[in-house]
Amino acid sequence: MKAAILGTTGYTGMILLRLLAGHREITEILPGSSSHAGMALCDTDYGLSSSVLSSSVLLKTRGREGRLLSVEEVVAAKPDVVFAALPHLASVKVCAPFFGNTPLIDLSADLRLKDPLLFERTYGEKPPRPDILERAVYGLAEWFTADIKRADVIANPGCYPTATLLPLLPLSRAGLLKGLVITSALSGISGAGRNVKQAYLFCERSENTCAYSPGRVHRHQPEIRQGLDSVAGSGLDILFTPHLVPLKQGMAVTSVAELTRPLGSDEVEAVYREAYGDRPCVRLTGDRIPETLHVRGSNRCDIGWHIEGDRIILLSVIDNLWKGASGQAVQNMNIRFGFAEAEGLSLHGEI
């Protein structure tokens, strides 16, 4: 199978390239880049194995071995699946040639919010393609599996919504939560992408931590609310405060929710086992608190919990670039094409 990547030189694109190069069902990768088309991959990604750079998985037409392709070249090469790892508000435009022709997994936020008004309020523009918005399946892999199998366009979830929704949805669906969920999320700096801004310099972020965009109507909150509504229709609300912490890859989310009735830890575990028991990318840690290092470089979401009277504290961790982006995108491709769900994905975290 031939897989194309649009945006190969960003962090999520670089990880997609590694994951697809090790995926048993992918025989060819088309590495696209609008900004660096024509450049040799080995000059934009020094970490790539030489064997990949010179091997048959990279497009070899027209003598352009191991080179980044323009979008037109990608289109011409007729990929079987396209991963768009492009900036928000640019992605849908670049992807236009593929809609209706090629299964597409979009890692941007362009197709996540279903409500055009909410989209506009959140991103400051009307949705560029409301028709696609409607068709796009929200790719939270453990929850919309059936839809993903039939999807032409998959809107890959954001890292914050992934890490926040996975622990909330099972309890919410079971009617165990009510009221306002108060969520505090800690993100590594790669969540900002390969954005060259002063705020992301090493000297500005090392030995530094802070909250940002607290509780405003920003991109994370509506996406999380939509996810909550779509599963349970429970009227649960959420107040979400993200924080930047000085690590590269990793996200830890702490949610405090009100219980609708007294619950034991075993009961919580049972609800989670029902939701995730056979799914490879979620692990329950119970009253052991999960740490981001243990899921770094893996597609796992680890979930722990602690009951405190009429509240429950939910603790979840992911690697924001894996389960929070490129890893989940490959998981979605696996589901869409009927491959083993974790094919090509490491489930080991770091030591």
Binds a second copy (CB under 8 A): choice among 29, 159, 177, 295: 295
Nearest alpha carbon to residue 120 among 105, 107, 134, 110: 110
Binds a second copy (CB under 8 A): choice among 51, 63, 150, 338: 51
- Torsion sign over Cα 100, 106, 112, 115: negative
- Torsion sign over Cα 287, 254, 165, 154: negative
Rule CB under 8 A: say whether 47 interacts with a second copy.
Answer: yes
Binding positions for a second copy, 86-145, rule CB under 8 A? none
- Torsion sign over Cα 28, 33, 37, 42: negative
Binds a second copy (CB under 8 A): choice among 182, 236, 238, 325: 182
- Expressed in angstroms, the distance from the first to the final Cα of the chain is 33
Instruction: Give the range of 59-67, 124-132, 156-164, 300-308 binding a second copy by CB under 8 A.
Output: 300-308
Which residue lies nearer to a second copy by CB, 17 or 333? 17
* Sheet strand arrangement including 28-32: 28-32, 2-6, 81-84, 104-106, 153-155, 137-138
Rule CB under 8 A: say whether 323 interacts with a second copy.
Answer: no
Query: Quick one: angle between helices 159-173 and 265-276, nearest 10?
Result: 110
Binding positions for a second copy, 201-220, rule CB under 8 A? 201-212, 214-216
User: Which residues have a catalytic role annotated?
Assistant: 159
Instruction: Give the range of 64-72, 88-96, 167-175, 247-255 binding a second copy by CB under 8 A.
Output: 247-255
Nearest alpha carbon to residue 254 among 197, 181, 310, 309: 181
Residue 74: how many other CB atoms lie within 10 Å:
26
Rule CB under 8 A: say whether 246 interacts with a second copy.
Answer: yes
Which residue lies nearer to a second copy by CB, 77 or 307? 307
Q: Tell me the Cα Rg of the chain.
A: 20
Which amino acid is present at 220? Answer: H
Instruction: Give the range of 25-33, 142-150, 283-291, 328-336 binding a second copy by CB under 8 A.
Output: 283-291
Binds a second copy (CB under 8 A): choice among 198, 262, 264, 338: 198
User: Are 168 and 225 spatial neighbours (Cβ–Cβ below 8 Å)?
Assistant: no
Which residue lies nearer to a second copy by CB, 51 or 261? 51
The encoded tokens of residue 287 equal 């009253």
Residue 149: how many other CB atoms lie within 10 Å:
13
Q: How far apart, in whole angstroms, are the C-alpha atoms of residue 123 and residue 130?
A: 14
Which residue lies nearer to a second copy by CB, 117 or 201? 201
Binds a second copy (CB under 8 A): choice among 6, 109, 159, 189: 189
Instruction: Give the range of 39-47, 78-86, 149-157, 159-167 binding a second copy by CB under 8 A.
Output: 39-47
Binds a second copy (CB under 8 A): choice among 25, 152, 313, 337: 313
Q: How far apart, in whole angstroms, are the C-alpha atoms of residue 97 and residue 111?
A: 16
Which residue lies nearer to a second copy by CB, 249 or 332? 249
* Tally of CA atoms within 13 A in the half-sphere of 224 that contains its CB: 32
Which residue lies nearer to a second copy by CB, 196 or 261? 196
Rule CB under 8 A: say whether 283 interacts with a second copy.
Answer: yes
- CB 186 → a second copy: shortest distance, Å? 5
Rule CB under 8 A: say whether 184 interacts with a second copy.
Answer: yes
Tell me, by CB under 8 A, how many residues bind a second copy: 82
Rule CB under 8 A: say whether 36 interacts with a second copy.
Answer: no
Q: How far apart, in whole angstroms, are the C-alpha atoms of residue 256 and residue 266?
A: 18
Binds a second copy (CB under 8 A): choice among 3, 4, 15, 166: 15
Which residue lies nearer to a second copy by CB, 129 or 283? 283
